[in-house]
């Protein structure tokens, strides 16, 4: 998934710089990081001089068969990540799947 996301990013006029070091979570008060079954994870990369960090809840299989299984049958829409929405942090503007996204989170 991350490789596909990285390939689909188009960057315009961004100043180089590091992506934020810490991931922001939206649901920490209700679901503390230490008690989550699916850990918080991130991936950082640079595209066209723009630093990008993708923060997500890394799903844990815990014995389940996900893609193509009962939980996520082929041909059905499903949300990537676990616990809360995936967040993207970037030092410059991006175009993701043709949608312009300003710098920031």
The 10 Å CB-count burial string (b at 16+, else e) for 59-68 is beeeeeeeee
C-alpha span between 39 and 42 (Å, rounded): 10
Beta-sheet strands, E only, within 3-78: 9-11, 40-47, 50-57
The string of pLDDT tens digits covering residues 37-80 is 778 888 999 988 899 999 888 877 778 777 788 778 898 877 76
**pTM of the entire predicted model:** 0.64
Residue whose pair of structure tokens reads 């990369």 in the numeric block: 45
C-alpha span between 105 and 24 (Å, rounded): 9
């Amino acid at each position: 998934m991350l490789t596909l996301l990285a390939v689909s990013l188009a960057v315009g006029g961004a100043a180089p710089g590091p992506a934020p070091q810490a991931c922001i979570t939206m649901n920490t008060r209700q679901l503390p990081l230490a008690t989550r079954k699916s850990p918080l994870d991130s991936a950082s990369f640079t595209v066209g001089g723009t630093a990008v960090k993708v923060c997500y809840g890394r799903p844990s299989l815990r014995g389940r068969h996900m893609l193509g299984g009962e939980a996520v049958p082929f041909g059905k829409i499903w949300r990537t990540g676990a616990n809360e929405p995936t967040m993207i942090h970037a030092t410059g503007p991006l175009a993701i799947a043709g949608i312009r996204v300003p710098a920031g989170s």
